[in-house]
Amino acid sequence: MTAKKKPWVKSAFSQLNMTPKASPVSAPYKRTRSGRATTSANVGTANVESTNVRKPQIVDLTVNEDDEEVNAATPIVSENWMDCFAPSTSEDLAVHPKKVGDVRNWLQHCEAMRKKYPAQICLLTGPAGCGKTATLRVLAQELGYELQEWINPTDCEEINALGDQPSDGTYMGSQLEAFKSFLLRASRYKSLLSAQNKRLLLVEDFPNVLLKDAAATFSDLLDEYISYGKSPLVFIAADSKSRMLNISYKLFTDQLKAKLRIEHISFNSIAATIMQKSMKRFTTLMQQQQHKSLYKLPTQTVLDSIVVCAQGDIRNALINLHFGSLKGAPSMVTKQLNVNAPSKGRKRKATNTLKSIGRDESITMMHALGRVFNPKYTEDRDKCLLHNPEDLAEAFSTEPRNFVNFIHANYLPHFQDIANVNSAVNDLGVADMLLQEYRDESLSLVSLTIAVRGCMVANVAPVSGWMPVRGPKRLTIEPQLTPAEQKLLGVAYAGISKRLYASEYSSFIKTIADNTK
Amino acid sequence: MALWVDKYRPRELSKLDYHKDQAENLRNLCKQSDFPHLMFYGPSGAGKKTRIMCLLREMYGPGVERLRNETMNFTTPSNRKIDIMTVGSNYHLEVNPSDAGMYDRTVVIDLIKQVAQTHQIDINGQREFKVIVISEGDELTKDAQHALRRTMEKYVATCRIILSVNSTSRIIPAIRSRCLGIRVPAPNETEMTAVLQNTCKREGLVLPPELAKRVIEKSDRNLRRALLMLEASKVQQYPFTANQQIAELDWQVYLRETASQIVSEQTPAKLEKIRDRLYELLSQGVPPNLIFRGLVEQLVNNCDMSIKAKTLEYATQYEHRMQNGAKHIFHLEAFVAQFMNIYKKFLAELVMTDDF
């Protein structure tokens, strides 16, 4: 002990013991991640001590409901306001009861099959913030499971960065090994500290190695797990727009799911009504004794706008609610509550959204196409577009070509007059030409903007009504030659290009081949 | 049985039907020991390929006529496999890189490397280089052309390139300067008549001069088209009569109908139908520039004098964009929309003036 207090060598690891006294010493050692964490934590505590009102500013946004058990132990993090609002029973969950029932059934099924097939696998998917993890946690607690979660180790990476390990192969191998041993140990042996007998393995943080074209390795891994595992295993994967990034699509192929009988439960984003209900629960929680000093009750419009703004993301809604109802910052609240012009009579309910804060609005392709084809204008005297074309273009800046193709495939039925079509398609042509110019990167966004804006502005009198969205056509030119036709051309036909064949030969050859039979 | 176009294709420079002075020059070219890269340019169906084959025969002897097909495999940097059909003999290789679409760069480089890195085994062969014939060189992307430029220089000792292009304007200047350009103009009417009559005589047929004239008119001085047309007409009806129906290219017929539809109605719904027709043509493999040209010709024929100039002006603008862009349909459609717009305005004005 004394050696620790009076070290004769400054240990690089000393920063890991997060003692407040050591922090001034650790300042020069800011190199590692843990060192930074200590300093920031200390700044945080200082703030808490100095002003009581500003307490919530130290909110750590990266902490979510997942960290219940850990957080309960230390006093500082127990201030995490999010835990207070985390659902504790399955009734509190904002998820649709049917999905909760699905997960519960699966867990009960695992229970029933425990003797024979202990290693069941389940996959939960859904958009971010739709309560996948929360559902699992709550149900695990209710059914008496101990959750054991895999977290990607970061230390291997750091050693690598320092250059201690020359090859990157070792790093890849080691993480995979670590993951394998986690699967083996966590499923078989219970923690010394836990009282529960049943274990549930959770993988939300997919090992990076598996994400890099290693679907085969992954299926082998699961195959093995089925044979040796002793506990149910749950994977949670958030949906992603792009197919290539979508874990559930890439790693969990249909064959794999069928082969290993993986239960796939896909969550939807949370419906507005359920969201409103849980907002009510949050507000009642806010009025409890221990929170009263922190929060004031937000108005109904603020609540509504939070729900609209969150787009089915309960976690985001909670963060916004927290920000919107802090007592210490009255001026902020009014500012945030910048009510946008409501879109005309589409819904009965007010569609206010928070202006300055809120979830980054991501829109789907179909949604964006709708905005392009049915341009809405504000009702002010100076009519301007309700949805800014630049924003729409920005949202699809990663796939400009695709979006332009979609616009082209679908824009025609939305126009009434050929003059308007003319100007729209003119802009599409310009966009296509600019997209071809690969030497300047910014041009792709410019051309996309031209296409979007051109289409919106040109459509003076849009045709309203539902029109199915069609995908852009792909042209594959493959001239099909019958044997007779081929014989006519002889060996030389390989020297005739497809274009030349189509434009010069095809119709004559058809006639000649037909008539000489 | 072979097509007339192939069957009666002249095989030697001395037997060519027209451009005889040029044939003499080509023969002189072969007599010298060295031989630069060549670029044959001229309209489609003028006889570029025929002259190239004659030249090769002059150089290598009848061995070049022992043709064989070969499918070559290429792998693009993005790991995409491409199969390209080639025709070749021991001395030359003929390839259409444009069939590979946007991957033509890989094809050009790999092909030339493959060919150029193997020396001729036969020491008695007259030349120590092989020849690569690239047809439709103007369809090569700029990327491929730049790649070609470098490889052309690097492997000049073992391989010569003969490009066959329609228009030199789409060949980058760097390649134009590395090649000896040989222009092959389209045959004139008397030359074409002679060829048609000659062919019929060898087939033992009688061709009325009026019919020959009509075929030549229809074929746009494209000899290949004229011969195919004549052969197709022959299988439809023989003995020939002066005013019998001539087989036509089906895409031209289709395009003519499309043009008349454009003139008949100018609405977005019609434009959508026109677009489908254009897609149909493109998916058949008809080159977009031919579609564009055919469309403009038909529309200009169909419309009033006062809007002809404007139509042509817009046509040049959109055609230019089409060459620079990637999606041909955008620009074809844009042109059709533009024409519809002009035409509709013109019709409205016509009604106005009639009222007064």
**CATH classification at residue B62:** 3.40.50.300
Interchain contact B164–A (C-beta under 8 A):
no
* Candidates B3, B85, B324; nearest CB to A488: B3
Domain that holds residue A376: 365-458
Q: Report yes or no on A223 lying in a domain.
A: yes
Number of folded domains that form chain B: 3
Interchain contact A432–B (C-beta under 8 A):
yes
Question: CB–CB of A49/A20 below 8 Å?
Answer: no
For residue A114, what are its two tokens?
């425990």
Residues A227, A186 share a domain: yes
The band of A270, judged by pLDDT with boundaries at 50, 70 and 90, is confident
Q: Report yes or no on A179 lying in a domain.
A: yes
Residue A339: φ, ψ to 5° = -80, 125
Element (H or E) spanning A263, and its range? strand A263-266
- Taking the CA atoms of A495, A497, A498 and A500 in sequence, report the sign of the dihedral they define: negative
Question: Which of A:305-334 have CB within 8 Å of B?
Answer: none
Over residues A403-460, the pLDDT tens digits come to 999 999 999 999 988 999 999 999 999 999 998 887 788 888 899 999 999 999 998 8
The band of B338, judged by pLDDT with boundaries at 50, 70 and 90, is very high
Among B83, B227, B341, pick the best mutation site for testing chain A contact (most A Cβ within 10 A). B341
Q: A314 vs A37, which has greater pLDDT?
A: A314
Residue of chain A whose alpha carbon sits nearest to that of B250: A507
Interchain contact A475–B (C-beta under 8 A):
yes
Q: Report yes or no on A16 lying in a domain.
A: yes
CATH number, residue A106: 3.40.50.300
Q: Report yes or no on B241 lying in a domain.
A: no
Q: Report yes or no on B279 lying in a domain.
A: yes
Residues B211, B177 share a domain: no
Q: Say if residue A5's pLDDT is above 60.
A: no
Residue B296: the pLDDT is 94
Residues A260, A134 share a domain: yes
CATH number, residue B347: 1.20.272.10
Interchain contact B333–A (C-beta under 8 A):
yes
Residue B60: the pLDDT is 85
For range B323-335, the mean pLDDT: 90
Residue A151: the pLDDT is 83
Q: Report yes or no on B210 lying in a domain.
A: yes
For residue A428, what are its two tokens?
């599409």
Q: Say if residue A42's pLDDT is above 60.
A: no
Interchain contact A416–B (C-beta under 8 A):
yes
Q: Say if residue A216's pLDDT is above 70.
A: yes
CB atoms B1 and A516 under 8 Å:
yes
Residues A256, A107 share a domain: yes
Interchain contact A489–B (C-beta under 8 A):
yes
Q: What is the DSSP string of B92-148?
A: EEEE-GGGGGGGHHHHHHHHHHHHHTSPPS-TTSS-SSEEEEEETGGGS-HHHHHHH
Question: CB–CB of B353/A454 below 8 Å?
Answer: no
For residue A346, what are its two tokens?
């589409």
Residue B50: the pLDDT is 92
For range A495-503, the mean pLDDT: 80
Using the 8-state DSSP alphabet, how is residue A115 labeled?
Answer: T
The band of B312, judged by pLDDT with boundaries at 50, 70 and 90, is very high
Q: Report yes or no on B67 lying in a domain.
A: yes
Residues B168, B38 share a domain: yes
The band of B336, judged by pLDDT with boundaries at 50, 70 and 90, is very high
Chain A with chain B: Cβ pairs closer than 8 A:
172
Q: Report yes or no on A349 lying in a domain.
A: no
Residues A118, A232 share a domain: yes
Residues of B in contact with A496 (CB under 8 A): 96
CB atoms B6 and A512 under 8 Å:
no
The band of A29, judged by pLDDT with boundaries at 50, 70 and 90, is very low
CB atoms A499 and B266 under 8 Å:
no
Residues of B in contact with A474 (CB under 8 A): none
For range B175-179, the mean pLDDT: 92
Residues B202, B142 share a domain: no
Q: Report yes or no on A109 lying in a domain.
A: yes
Distance CA B224, CA B235 (A): 17
Question: CB–CB of A147/A200 below 8 Å?
Answer: yes
Among B1, B3, B289, B316, pick the best mutation site for testing chain A contact (most A Cβ within 10 A). B3
Residues A196, A125 share a domain: yes
Residues of B in contact with A425 (CB under 8 A): 330, 333-334, 337
A392: number of CA atoms within 13 Å, CB side?
28
Residues A259, A137 share a domain: yes
Residue of chain A whose alpha carbon sits nearest to that of B345: A419
Identify the three-state secondary structure at position B57.
Answer: helix
Residues of A in contact with B267 (CB under 8 A): 418
Residues B44, B103 share a domain: yes
Residues A254, A106 share a domain: yes
Over residues B189-243, the pLDDT tens digits come to 999 999 999 999 998 888 899 999 999 998 888 999 999 999 888 888 878 888 8
Crossing angle for the helix pair A155-162 and A168-188, to the nearest 10 degrees: 160
CA dist B238 → A114, B200, B242, B246 (Å): 86, 12, 11, 12
Give the count of beta carbons closer than 10 Å to the beta carbon of residue B52: 23
Residue A164: the pLDDT is 52
Q: Say if residue A382's pLDDT is above 80.
A: no
Q: Report yes or no on A325 lying in a domain.
A: no
Question: CB–CB of A495/B94 below 8 Å?
Answer: yes
Residues A204, A147 share a domain: yes
Which range in A273-277, A316-320, B107-111, B318-322 is most confidently predicted, on average pLDDT?
Answer: B318-322
Residue B1: the pLDDT is 63
Indicate the average pLDDT of chain B: 88
Domain that holds residue B97: 4-183
In A4-143, the DSSP E strands lie at 121-126
Which range in A100-109, A196-205, A290-299 is most confidently predicted, on average pLDDT?
Answer: A100-109
Q: A382 vs A277, which has greater pLDDT?
A: A277
For residue B354, count CB atoms less than 10 angstroms from its CB and return exposed for 0-12, middle for 13-18, buried for 19 or more.
exposed
Give the count of beta carbons closer than 10 Å to the beta carbon of residue A478: 8
Nearest CA among A18, A216, A201 for reference residue A118: A201
Distance CA B151, CA B171 (A): 16
Interchain contact B43–A (C-beta under 8 A):
no
Q: Report yes or no on B245 lying in a domain.
A: no
Question: CB–CB of B271/B336 below 8 Å?
Answer: yes
Interchain contact B319–A (C-beta under 8 A):
no
For range A314-320, the mean pLDDT: 83
Residue A465: the pLDDT is 80
Q: Are strands B130-135 and B92-95 parallel, antiparallel or unpaired?
A: parallel
Interchain contact B69–A (C-beta under 8 A):
yes
* Candidates B44, B45, B330; nearest CB to A408: B330
Domain boundary among A11, A27, A50: A50
B261: number of CA atoms within 13 Å, CB side?
21
Among B95, B314, B338, B346, pick the best mutation site for testing chain A contact (most A Cβ within 10 A). B338
Residues B321, B224 share a domain: no
Residues B133, B20 share a domain: yes
Distance CA A196, CA A147 (A): 10
Residue of chain A whose alpha carbon sits nearest to that of B93: A495
The three-point CA angle A279-A281-A284 to 5° equals 110
Element (H or E) spanning B154, and its range? helix B142-154
Domain boundary among B173, B207, B236: B236
Q: Say if residue B331's pLDDT is above 90.
A: yes
Looking at A176-185, A219-228, A244-253, B90-99, which range is the least confident one? A244-253
Question: CB–CB of B110/B138 below 8 Å?
Answer: no
Nearest CA among A308, A103, A475 for reference residue B275: A475
- Taking the CA atoms of A303, A309, A311 and A312 in sequence, report the sign of the dihedral they define: negative
Domain boundary among A50, A69, A86: A50
Residues B257, B172 share a domain: no
Which range in A56-60, A339-343, B223-227, B321-325 is most confidently predicted, on average pLDDT?
Answer: B223-227
Number of folded domains that form chain A: 4
Identify the three-state secondary structure at position A30.
Answer: coil
For range A92-107, the mean pLDDT: 88
With pLDDT > 70 as the criterion, what percentage of chain A qualifies?
69
Residues A103, A234 share a domain: yes
Q: Report yes or no on A25 lying in a domain.
A: yes
Residues 6 or more apart whose Cβ sits within 8 Å of residue B44: A500, A504, B166, B222, B224
Question: CB–CB of A92/A280 below 8 Å?
Answer: no
Interchain contact B251–A (C-beta under 8 A):
yes
Bridge partners for B348 per DSSP: none
Q: Report yes or no on B244 lying in a domain.
A: no
Residues 6 or more apart whose Cβ sits within 8 Å of residue A242: none
CB atoms A502 and B318 under 8 Å:
no
Residue A275: the pLDDT is 86
With pLDDT > 90 as the criterion, what percentage of chain B qualifies?
40
For range A132-143, the mean pLDDT: 88
The three-point CA angle B326-B329-B330 to 5° equals 75
Distance CA B52, CA B136 (A): 13
Nearest CA among B336, B24, B33, B326 for reference residue A401: B326
Looking at A40-49, A256-265, B103-112, B167-176, which range is the least confident one? A40-49
With pLDDT > 70 as the criterion, what percentage of chain B qualifies?
96
Question: CB–CB of A459/A375 below 8 Å?
Answer: yes
Q: Say if residue A505's pLDDT is above 50.
A: yes
CB atoms B334 and A426 under 8 Å:
yes
The band of A243, judged by pLDDT with boundaries at 50, 70 and 90, is low
CB atoms B326 and A436 under 8 Å:
yes
Domain boundary among A247, A266, A285: A266
Q: Say if residue B283's pLDDT is above 80.
A: yes
Residues 6 or more apart whose Cβ sits within 8 Å of residue B197: B207, B212
Q: Say if residue A62's pLDDT is above 60.
A: no
Residue A173: the pLDDT is 53
Reading across the β-sheet that carries A145-150, which strands appear in turn? A145-150, A198-203, A233-238, A121-126, A263-266
SS3 annotation, A174-222: HHHHHHHHHHHHHHHCCCCCCCCCEEEEEECCCCHHHHCCCHHHHHHHH
Question: CB–CB of B197/B227 below 8 Å?
Answer: no
For range B57-74, the mean pLDDT: 86
* Candidates A489, A504, A511; nearest CB to B247: A511
Residues B78, B62 share a domain: yes
Give the count of beta carbons closer than 10 Å to the beta carbon of residue B96: 27
Residues B344, B273 share a domain: yes
Residues B232, B171 share a domain: no
Closest approach of chain A CAs to the CA of B180, in angstroms? 23
Q: Say if residue A44's pLDDT is above 50.
A: no
The band of B42, judged by pLDDT with boundaries at 50, 70 and 90, is very high
Question: Which of A:129-168 have CB within 8 Å of B?
Answer: none
Residues B125, B161 share a domain: yes
A388: number of CA atoms within 13 Å, CB side?
4
Residues 6 or more apart whose Cβ sits within 8 Å of residue A271: A96, A312
Cα A40 to the chain's mean position, in Å? 27
For range B8-22, the mean pLDDT: 89
What is the ipTM score, two decimals? 0.82
The three-point CA angle B334-B267-A376 to 5° equals 80
Q: Report yes or no on B312 lying in a domain.
A: yes
Distance CA B131, CA B161 (A): 6
Residues of B in contact with A432 (CB under 8 A): 321, 325-327, 330-331
Distance CA B10, CA B221 (A): 18
For residue B283, what are its two tokens?
């998916």
Residues A224, A114 share a domain: yes
Cα B28 to the chain's mean position, in Å? 27
Q: Report yes or no on A318 lying in a domain.
A: no
Residues A157, A118 share a domain: yes
Residues A151, A24 share a domain: no
Residues B179, B99 share a domain: yes
